[in-house]
A and B are shown apart, each in its own frame.
Chain A
């Protein structure tokens, strides 16, 4: 599989790949044997950022990354399906229905029918970008972000679904809320949905 390795300063590389999570698993599994020490391995939409410690041999490191074959992520992470109970009463349900031409009930049904995968975290600790959103629900983010979105807000924007782990500003469409703890320092890892996790949303009975 062809990958592109882009240098990113003296000790980091950005690798474009169509199997980012498989490549991340391979980097974590094989760096020691190859003689490299990792700082961070950061999946994103179509790239993997790899930062190393010390002063790595840049050509050797780039060559190693370019030749690395993706491997299946650790079985425990791959097999894990996290269910998130959702109360579908978000402030933007009506707007999403209008933008998509669906009824509110269909928006809700579409959202919890899917199985999602956490493809990367970003924006805030524990904020996971979930791939798998039904095409019919893919609408651009709100023109004006809210200054405050509460923790547990269940949201969609463009091709992603997400749950806000903590109160923050936010421009995604809010369709529901959950009591699930997306971020907890009492847990290892503290993120409920680290990259690679499978996710299902389950509709809770209304109030």
Chain B
């Protein structure tokens, strides 16, 4: 029998994700992919998969059952479990974090769309939504050893490195100083698209409309209310708000995992 996992409880905002589909942004296709690529890599390595193999991402409450013997690694314990047919595993984020994952040895073998198994939360591009009763086939055994020494959960940072963005000069110097010295609180507006922060209002040096321009993963976009939004994997490919800064890729998982109410600081890189 083909190894498979059946979803008993879909949990919150659960989806299949891999490294996403960069390369199609000129067609309006978001890149998608695991929000916490570091944790996804750790869990995949634990079960002997390539770092970017497709796995399940959830904001919590996901319960899956093995339909036959399957080796998995999941949050919150970030450990390997040999599931026998009928065994279940409950997947939650690591305490204090926002997104949890479960990787299966052989990877989640949903059909790839535009070279990726990731689902885009806005357009629905990619595999179907994960709902209770969904059966997810697990791919062939990768014939690698199950690792034992890659289980350390990633270390989180609360001071995040920033690169200057293309529209840094659309803001006054006070705005850059405030961004890189004050405390920023993560608001409840967090999703796969982005994280809205609350802090001092970032004042503009250049007023007026910005024509739409391309956006990158980790862009810190500032809408007209002056409160920054850090763009995550499902961000739109273009947008008309000025980008003051870009989060260093190494620190982006820490931003994506920050729960509402968390305080972040930024430093110039």
Contact = CB atoms under 8 A, between A and B. Distances in A.
Interface of A: 6-10, 12, 14, 24, 39-49, 51, 120-129, 166, 168, 185, 189-191, 194-195
Given A44-B211, A46-B211, A125 B216 contact: no
B39 to A, nearest CB: 22
B28 to A, nearest CB: 4
B189 interface: no
A14 B215 CA distance: 9
Interface of B: 22-30, 113-114, 120, 122-123, 125, 163-167, 211-216, 218-219, 236-239, 243, 246, 248-249
24 contacts: A8-B219, A9-B165, A9-B246, A10-B248, A12-B216, A39-B23, A42-B237, A42-B238, A47-B211, A48-B214, A49-B214, A49-B215, A120-B26, A120-B212, A120-B238, A121-B238, A122-B237, A122-B238, A123-B236, A124-B28, A125-B29, A126-B27, A127-B28, A128-B28
Given A44-B238, A122-B236, A191 B213 contact: no
Given A39-B22, A124-B123, A125-B30, 15 more contacts: A9-B248, A12-B216, A40-B25, A40-B26, A41-B26, A43-B214, A44-B211, A47-B211, A48-B214, A120-B26, A123-B238, A124-B122, A125-B123, A127-B28, A190-B27
A125 B113 CA distance: 13
The 3 tightest CB contacts between A and B, nearest first, are A49-B214, A122-B238, A9-B246
Interface-centre pick from B23, B212, B239 (highest chain A CB count, 10 A): B212
Interface-centre pick from A124, A185, A190, A194 (highest chain B CB count, 10 A): A124
Interface SS majority for chain B = loop
Contacts of B125: 125
Contacts of B212: 44-45, 120, 122, 129
A190 B22 contact: no
A128 B29 CA distance: 12
Nearest to B240: A45
Contacts of A190: 27, 114
Nearest to A9: B246
A191 B202 CA distance: 37
Contacts of B30: 125
A123 B28 contact: yes
Contact of B214 (A14, A124, A126, A189): A14
A48 B166 CA distance: 12
Contacts of B248: 9-10
Contacts of A42: 25-26, 214, 237-238
